Amino acid sequence: MKAGDFKANTLFMMDGHFFRVVECQKVQQPRLAAFLRARIKNIETGATQDRNFKMGDTFDDVEIERRHMKFSYADGDLYYFIEEETFELEPIAANMAKDALLYNSEDGEGTIYTFEYANGKLLGIVPPTFVVLTVVETEPSVPGDTARNALKNATLDSGLTVKVQMFISNGDRVKIDTRTGEYVERA
């Protein structure tokens, strides 16, 4: 894989560590060779760094294995997920799963997560792009409080707090974009 092929969410291996491209931009300066300015995230440590790459720099490709799982239960510092096809339970450390579980739906279906593995190592837990969650606590809407694009805080059944429109009330189901963590619409 060449640095010139990078785009957002590209996985690559550099110096024996797995990295994910957060964002990147091709830079061309007059009379100089083009280069790629990228923000990359170390998968193991979570640290991000800004780095410039020559367009021809080569890196090892990362073969990703994906498995689909649902959250089953928590036991201390371990969260157990069950695989959709084989019904195997897999324990995951709390620090790996906490962010993804903010999008766990408490309804009967449950949220199906995509687990990404490379060389047998868990790289990340990816929730679906959109999830529908229930509002458990928000301020009541007041008649006449209809300022343009007015927003208020709402706590959802998963524990996530988001800004929602003024007409949303307790018990409403809302659609959330997991990429940004923002409210999209009433479901």
Helix, strand, coil % in the chain, rounded to nearest 5: 5, 55, 40
What sections of the chain are H helices per DSSP?
Answer: 94-101
Residue at which a domain ends, from 61, 76, 93 = 61
57 shares its domain with 73: no
Dihedral (Cα; 95, 100, 101, 105), 10-degree rounding: -170
Provide the token pair at 177.
């974009």
Provide the token pair at 133.
């969650």
96 shares its domain with 54: no
Q: What is the CB neighbour count within 10 angstroms for residue 40?
A: 21
Q: What is the DSSP letter of 58?
A: B
44 shares its domain with 80: no
The helix or strand, by DSSP H or E, that contains position 130, with its residue range, turns out to be: strand 130-138
pLDDT < 50 positions in the chain: none
Q: What pLDDT score does 108 carry?
A: 57
26 shares its domain with 75: no
Q: What pLDDT score does 116 carry?
A: 86
What is the span of the domain harbouring residue 158?
131-186
Number of structural domains in the chain: 3
149 shares its domain with 118: no
Q: What pLDDT score does 52 carry?
A: 92
17 shares its domain with 57: yes
| CATH number of the domain residue 19 falls in | 2.30.30.30
| Type of residue numbered 30 | P
Give DSSP secondary structure letters for 36-52.
EEEEEEETTT--EEEEE
**Are 169 and 141 contacting, i.e. CB atoms less than 8 angstroms apart?**
yes
136 shares its domain with 109: no
| CATH number of the domain residue 168 falls in | 2.40.50.140
pTM of the model: 0.72
103 shares its domain with 144: no
141 shares its domain with 172: yes
Angle at 38 between CA 12 and CA 16, to 5 degrees: 30
Residue at which a domain ends, from 61, 80, 101 = 61
Q: What pLDDT score does 162 carry?
A: 92
104 shares its domain with 156: no
Q: What pLDDT score does 146 carry?
A: 61
What are the pLDDT digits (tens) for 18-73? 888 889 999 888 888 889 999 998 887 778 999 999 988 998 878 888 889 998 88
93 shares its domain with 112: yes
143 shares its domain with 102: no
Residue at which a domain ends, from 28, 43, 61 = 61
Q: What pLDDT score does 186 carry?
A: 86
Angle at 180 between CA 178 and CA 185, to 5 degrees: 70
